[in-house]
Structure 1
Amino acid sequence: MTHDLERRAAEGRVKYGTLLRGFNGHDALTDAYQEALDLVMYLRQLMYEQSALAAENTRLKAEIVQLKEMLEKRTVDDLK
């Protein structure tokens, strides 16, 4: 995490020409609130994606069981 913070500070220095400093004309509380809202949106996206992937995983598991049963039946029928 330290590396991530250092990298983020370096990116800010390149983008803004300075490190973060107080009394820079920005409303830190509003900026933090907006960033928190963005975080909530990213988390909601992740929840949606995980739900969709879980449903697809369940579908694929059922399909695998079905294919396995078909193969087993075919093998038994071939032996007759």
Structure 2
Amino acid sequence: MADKPKVHLHGQLTELTLENLAQQLSMMDERLDNIDSIVTNVAERVMNQPITISVTCSGCGKTSTYTLLASEKPTVRK
């Protein structure tokens, strides 16, 4: 008979159970929430200031400059 699958977690070898799987999913969900918060915060900071992009044509050498301006949507902060 085949043994139960085992998972290597932080230096420990444990059996894969529903409780372990639920805990791993919970940790991954929390990490994704943290990443989402960080990305949102960075995007909000970037959107508060103009961004300038300069592109040089490889054929003629002419430089084109593009400025991106954004405005924040009015929100109610609590």
Structure 1-normalised TM-score?
Answer: 0.44
- Relative contact order: is structure 1 or structure 2 higher (C-alpha 8 Å, sep ≥ 6)? 2
Which of the two has higher C-alpha Rg?
1
